[in-house]
Amino acid sequence: MTDAATSPFDDIRRLITTMPGPDEAAVEAVRLRERQLTKPAGSLGRLEWLVEWLAAWQGKAPPTVDRPLVCVFAGSHGVTAKGVSAYPSDVNRQMLENFAAGGAAINQICASLGLGFKVFDLALDMPTNDITEREAMDERSCVATMAFGMEAIAGGTDLLAIGEMGIGNTTVAAAIYAALYGGPAEHWVGRGTGVDDEGFRRKVAAVEAAIARHREHLNDPLETLSRLGGREVAAMAGAILAARLQKIPVVLDGYVATAAAAILHAIHPSTIDHCVAGHLSAEGAHQDVLARLGKIPLLALGMRLGEGSGAALAVGLIKSAAAIHRDMATFAQAGVSERLA
Ligand X SMILES: Cc1cc2ncn([C@H]3O[C@H](COP(=O)(O)O)[C@@H](O)[C@H]3O)c2cc1C
| Residue nearest ligand NIO by beta-carbon distance | 254
Question: Using CB distances below 5 to 8 A depending on partner kind, what does residue 232 bind out of ligand X, ligand NIO, none?
Answer: none
Alpha carbon separation from 333 to 86, 144, 260 (Å, rounded)? 58, 53, 45
Question: Using CB distances below 5 to 8 A depending on partner kind, what does residue 255 bind out of ligand NIO, ligand X, none?
Answer: ligand NIO
Contact 285, 255 (CB under 8 A): yes
Minimum distance, C-beta of residue 229 to ligand X, in the bound complex (Å)? 12
Applying CB under 6 A, among 130, 135, 223, 283 the residue interacting with ligand NIO is 283
Give Cα 303 distance to the centre of its chain: 15
Length of the chain: 341
Does the footprint of ligand NIO cover residue 75 (CB under 6 A)? no
What is the layout of strands, in order, in the sheet containing 116-121?
116-121, 68-74, 159-165, 250-252, 275-277
What gap in Å lies between CA 129 and CA 76, rounded to an integer? 9
Ramachandran angles phi, psi of 71, nearest 5° = -110, 125
HSE value, Cβ hemisphere, 13 Å, CA-based, for 332: 3
Minimum distance, C-beta of residue 306 to ligand NIO, in the bound complex (Å)? 3
- Helix (H/G/I), strand (E/B), else coil: 70: strand
Per-residue DSSP letters for 62-109? S---SSEEEEEEE--BGGGGG--SSS-THHHHHHHHHHHHT-SHHHHH
Is residue 307 among the annotated active site residues?
Answer: yes
Minimum distance, C-beta of residue 221 to ligand X, in the bound complex (Å)? 22
| Neighbouring C-beta atoms of residue 116, cutoff 10 Å | 16
Minimum distance, C-beta of residue 309 to ligand X, in the bound complex (Å)? 8
What gap in Å lies between CA 256 and CA 213, rounded to an integer? 21
Does the footprint of ligand NIO cover residue 278 (CB under 6 A)? no
In the complex with ligand X, the residue whose CB is nearer, 253 or 273, is 253
Question: Using CB distances below 5 to 8 A depending on partner kind, what does residue 95 bind out of ligand NIO, ligand X, none?
Answer: ligand X
Applying CB under 6 A, among 170, 171, 226, 271 the residue interacting with ligand NIO is 170
Minimum distance, C-beta of residue 68 to ligand NIO, in the bound complex (Å)? 19
Map residues 172-211 to x or -, x wherever contact with ligand NIO holds by CB under 6 A: --------------------xx------------------
What gap in Å lies between CA 188 and CA 284, rounded to an integer? 8
The angle subtended at Cα 240 by Cα 50 and Cα 326, nearest 5°, is 25
In the complex with ligand X, the residue whose CB is nearer, 158 or 307, is 307
Question: Using CB distances below 5 to 8 A depending on partner kind, what does residue 168 bind out of ligand X, ligand NIO, none?
Answer: ligand X
Q: Which of 41, 103, 24, 15 is nearest to 341 (CA)?
A: 41
In the complex with ligand NIO, the residue whose CB is nearer, 257 or 262, is 257
Contact 17, 53 (CB under 8 A): no
Does the footprint of ligand NIO cover residue 255 (CB under 6 A)? yes
| Neighbouring C-beta atoms of residue 320, cutoff 10 Å | 15
Give Cα 110 distance to the centre of its chain: 17
The binding site for ligand X (CB under 6 A) comprises: 85-87, 91, 95, 164-171, 192-193, 305-307
Minimum distance, C-beta of residue 304 to ligand NIO, in the bound complex (Å)? 4
In the complex with ligand NIO, the residue whose CB is nearer, 54 or 261, is 261
In the complex with ligand X, the residue whose CB is nearer, 145 or 169, is 169
In the complex with ligand NIO, the residue whose CB is nearer, 152 or 257, is 257
Q: Which residues are catalytic?
A: 307
Q: Which residues bind ligand NIO (CB under 6 A)?
A: 170, 192-193, 253-257, 281, 283, 304, 306
